[in-house]
Amino acid sequence: MSADAAVTPAARRRAPAGDAILEIENYGGYFSTSTDHAPTLKGVTYSLARGAITAIVGETGSGKSLTALSVLQIQPASFVRTSGRILFDGQDLTELDEQALRGIRGARISMVFQDARAALNPVFTVGRQIADVCRLHQGLSRKDAADAAVAALRLVHIPDPERRVRQYPHEFSGGMAQRVMIAMALVCQPELLILDEPTTGLDVTIQAEIIALITELCRETELTTCLITHDLGVVAETCDYAVVMRRGEVLEKGTCEQVLTAPRHEYTQQLLAASRLVENA
Amino acid sequence: MTTPTRSAAGVADPSESGVGGGTASPVGKRRWRPRPTGALGFRIGVGLLVCYLLVAVTSYFWTPFDPLGVGGDVLVKPGMPYLFGTDRLGEDVFSRTMAATRYDLLITVASVCLALVLGTVLGTIGGYYGKFWDGAIMRAIETFNAFPTLLFAMLIVSAVGPGILNIIVVLAFVGLPSYLRLARAEVLSRKTWQFAEAARMVGCRSWRIAFRHLLPNSIGPLLAFTAVNAAWVALITASLGYLGIGLQPGVPEWGSMIANGQDGIITGQWWVSFFPGMAILGMTGSLYLLGDGLGDRFDPRRRR
């Protein structure tokens, strides 16, 4: 299969054969607000290999974000789980109490949202927001946390971090704000990073920069990453594994190479046909 | 003494906004609260309030005459040595106006702070946690709101008796629902915003999200309202004094001073009521200006 490396450059690296850090098993449920209580998630099962970048691909409403929110147990309150479990490092996250979950959120599992500017609190400087996460989880002093915030901004290549930490979210462009979110997600050195459509709503050039940054950071530290996206081009370029979802079901999963070059499911074939990848191939 | 500066602010307001509007659009549509005026009004408000505070503090150590001293010449016209004249009992109006500042200022500030803190905490709890707490808090508040405010304040004051502490507690209690509603609405409107979710995502406790992430976003509107509400409380304090149910009789207070002098208005001794009235006007005016400026100042997006 290495002949297809041109299509999926990421696959040139040997996909890490590590064990799964996160296993979602038969996870299902419905929204209590829906009239017919039709299941929104139908037995979602996938796992994230340690140290690898896994893409979750699917159209809007396929349940990919909902599943990701469930990992941190911050799914909407109206979502009722009917089956399944989510194992993180052997612990079932659906069984944990609020206090234990707080220790995991932001410290061991981090998440980056789609709209970074909305996810930052408008009345605090970005430095303070990053520092707050450090102080919350690592008990750093005010001074150390402020230094950590500057270091975090430098890590995501924000120019002049000493000045930028003192600025407010509205002074950041969309791309820069997304970098801040990534910095905030990484500041406590999590074991798992979930990116929920991190480039949606950004310019194409900025999208490429953000994706390059994410790839660089994840590869450097062998950070397990879950990239939720509907951009198959990004999947091909960066990911090791891919999971295809539609209407609350996992249709197909496997290595990126296999899913993109030899899709087994009809829907994946349609997705590929609809994307630009076919032209390139 | 307070009118000249206040009217100056009033004159500056439209002219400033006219300039701002002119550059923004040729139609001359007014821009909402232009910055220079806002900053100027804010400074004037703060400056005046500092003056009031200084007068209040000074009155503890020094007044030209004893504010409670009866027995001088009665109904002397303003001039020297009685700057604001004297009243029916021969008390110096200037000294009494000075001494009254401390009572009116203390009552206003204390009751407003009490209402702000309690109302905000309860409102945030109601807004953020919803369900049972929200229902319980809101139903209780609506019960009190069924009574007209001034009447309610009068009823309680006459029930618990006069005294500074009683008035402070009653006025705080009467003002509480407005703060509570405002804080609740503010938190409620923001709790589904993404940054609240993001705060939860990084592992914050729920009270931390409510009070450290959501509430600071509402501090501008809350403080702005507080200042405007303080003006209203100052008026209510004076009204209670005027009706003679606030403080013990004889204690210098602007409202009761106006009541004392109201017979004189018809017979030409205007000064007994006029100067305390001006003091009330200046204080409410400066609080309004302060409130206007505060709303801008606490929003980093509107700062700079």
Q: What is the number of helices (H) and of strands (E) in chain B?
A: 11, 0
What's the pLDDT score for residue B109?
92
| Long-range Cβ contacts of A168-171 (<8 Å, 24+ apart) | A168/A122, A168/A123, A168/A124, A168/A125, A168/A126, A168/B300, A168/B301, A169/A117, A169/A120, A169/A121, A169/A122, A169/A126, A170/A117, A170/A122, A170/B300, A170/B301
In chain B, what are the domains? 3-297 (1.10.3720.10)
pLDDT at position B302: 62
What's the number of CA atoms in the CB half-sphere (13 Å) around residue B248?
Answer: 5
* CB spacing of A111 vs B201 below 8 angstroms: yes
Asked whether the predicted pLDDT for residue A67 surpasses 80, the reply is: yes
Q: Measured between alpha carbons, how far is B143 from B156 in angstroms, rounded to an integer?
A: 15
Residue B13 has pLDDT above 50, yes or no: no
Cβ-Cβ pairs closer than 8 A, A with B, add up to 64
Q: Is the pLDDT of residue B242 over 80?
A: yes
Q: Tokens standing for A251?
A: 């249709």
What are the residue boundaries of the structural domains of chain A, listed by start?
2-89+191-280, 118-190
Lowest mean pLDDT among A72-76, A116-120, A270-274, B182-186: A270-274
What is the three-class DSSP state of A42? strand
Angle between helices A142-155 and A126-138 (to 10 degrees): 120
Q: How far is A197 from chain B (nearest CA, A)?
A: 14
Q: Which residues of A touch B205 (CB under 8 A)?
A: 102
Q: In this structure, which long-range contacts are made by residues B66-71, counting pairs with CB atoms below 8 Å and at least 24 apart in sequence?
A: B66/B92, B66/B95, B67/B91, B67/B92, B67/B95, B67/B96, B67/B98, B67/B99, B67/B100, B67/B252, B68/B250, B68/B252
B-chain CB neighbours of A136 within 8 Å are 202-204
Q: pLDDT-based confidence at B221, cuts 50/70/90?
A: confident
Residues A196 and A230 sit within 8 Å (Cβ to Cβ): no
Whether A6 has its CB under 8 Å from any CB of chain B: the answer is no
Residue-averaged pLDDT of chain B: 79
Comparing A224-233, A239-248, A264-273, B154-163, the range with the smallest average pLDDT is A264-273
**Beta carbons of A120 and B198 less than 8 Å apart:** yes
Instruction: Report whether pLDDT(A39) > 80.
Output: yes
Highest mean pLDDT pick, A34-43, A269-278, B136-145, B262-271: B136-145
C-alpha A224: how far from chain center: 10
**pLDDT value at position B3?**
38
The predicted pLDDT at position B52 comes to 92
B216 in contact with A, Cβ within 8 Å? yes
The verdict on B296 touching A (C-beta cutoff 8 Å) is no
Order of strands, edge to edge, in the sheet holding A53-58? Answer: A109-112, A192-196, A224-229, A53-58, A241-246, A249-255
Whether CATH 3.40.50.300 fits A2-89+191-280? yes
pLDDT > 90 in chain B, percent: 15
Minimal Cα–Cα distance from B129 to chain A, Å?
13
Q: How far is CA A230 from CA A11, B2, B30, in A?
A: 19, 66, 46
- Residue B76 pLDDT more than 80? no
Percentage of residues of chain A with pLDDT beyond 70: 91
CB contact, 8 Å: B99 with chain A?
no
**CB distance B202–A133 less than 8 Å?**
yes
A254 CA to chain B: closest CA distance, Å? 29
Name the residue with higher pLDDT: A236 or A12.
A236
Instruction: Of A70-79, A156-165, B17-26, B147-156, give the lowest mean pLDDT range.
Output: B17-26
Mean pLDDT of the region B266-284: 87
Model confidence at A110: pLDDT above 70? yes
In 3D space, the residue among A99, A62, A117 whose CA is nearest the CA of residue A244 turns out to be: A62
Paired tokens of A52: 């690898």
Question: Is pLDDT above 60 for A281?
Answer: no
What DSSP character marks residue B214? I
Do B198 and A120 form a contact (C-beta atoms < 8 A)?
Answer: yes
Instruction: Assign B1 a pLDDT band (cuts: 50, 70, 90).
Output: very low
Q: Please report the pLDDT score of residue A31 as a whole number.
A: 86
**Residue contact A103–B199, C-beta within 8 A:** no
What pLDDT is attached to residue B280? Answer: 92
Tokens of B61: 């150590």
Alpha helices for B130-253 (secondary structure H):
131-145, 149-160, 164-190, 194-201, 206-208, 215-243
Instruction: List the 36-95 stretch of A: residues with Cβ below 8 A of B.
Output: 72, 74
Q: Number of helices (H) and strands (E), helices first, in chain A?
A: 12, 10
| For residue A59, pLDDT beyond 90 | no
Residue B113 confidence (pLDDT)? 93
Q: What is the pLDDT of residue B16?
A: 38
Q: Do B301 and A122 touch (CB under 8 A)?
A: yes
- Per-residue pLDDT band for B299 (boundaries 50, 70, 90) equals low
Is A202 at the interface with chain B, CB within 8 A? Answer: no
Chain A contact probe: residue of B187, B202, B304 with most A CBs at under 10 A: B202
Query: What mean pLDDT, rounded, does chain A reach?
Result: 81
Say how far apart CA B80 and CA A206 lie, in whole Å. Answer: 76
pLDDT tens per residue across span A236-267: 888 888 888 888 888 888 888 788 777 778 78
Chain A residue with Cα closest to B193: A118
| Any A CB within 8 A of B193 CB | yes
Phi, psi of A246 (to 5 degrees): -155, 135
> What is the pLDDT at residue B4?
41
- B203 vs A contacts (CB less than 8 Å): 101-107, 133, 136-137
How close is the nearest chain A Cα to the Cα of B238, in Å?
37
Question: How far is residue B204 from each of residues B197, B211, B240, measured CA to CA in Å?
Answer: 10, 11, 46
H or E stretch including B21?
Answer: helix B3-24
Q: Which of B193, B194, B201 sits opposite A106 (nearest CB)?
A: B201
The pTM of this model reads 0.74
Q: pLDDT tens digits for A135-171?
A: 888 888 888 888 888 888 888 888 888 888 888 888 8
Mutation site, B187, B189, B195, interface A, largest A CB count within 10 A: B195
Residue A218: alpha-carbon gap to chain centroid: 11
pLDDT higher than threshold 80 for residue B239: yes
- pLDDT value at A130 more than 90: no
Pairing, β A241-246 against β A109-112? unpaired
Q: What is the pLDDT of residues B15-72, one digit of tens each?
A: 333 333 334 444 444 444 445 555 788 888 899 999 999 999 988 888 777 777 766 7
What is the rounded average pLDDT of the residues B96-114?
Answer: 91
Contact B202 A123 (CB under 8 A): no
Q: Does the beta-carbon distance from A105 to B300 stay under 8 Å?
A: no
Closest alpha carbon to A126 in A73, A55, A179, A84? A179
**Section A209-222 average pLDDT:** 86
d(CA A13, nearest CA chain B) in Å: 32
Return the pLDDT at B11.
39
Q: Is the Cα dihedral A6, A10, A15, A19 positive or negative? A: negative
Q: What are phi and psi of A224, to 5 degrees?
A: -70, 125
Task: Answer yes or no: do A103 and B203 touch at CB < 8 A.
Answer: yes
ipTM above 0.90, yes or no: no
Is the pLDDT assigned to residue B129 strictly greater than 80?
A: yes
Q: For residue B12, what pLDDT is reported?
A: 39
What pLDDT shows up at residue A137?
A: 84
Instruction: Kindly report the nearest CA distance between residue A99 and chain B, in angstroms.
Output: 8
pLDDT band at B284 (very low <50, low <70, confident <90, very high): very high
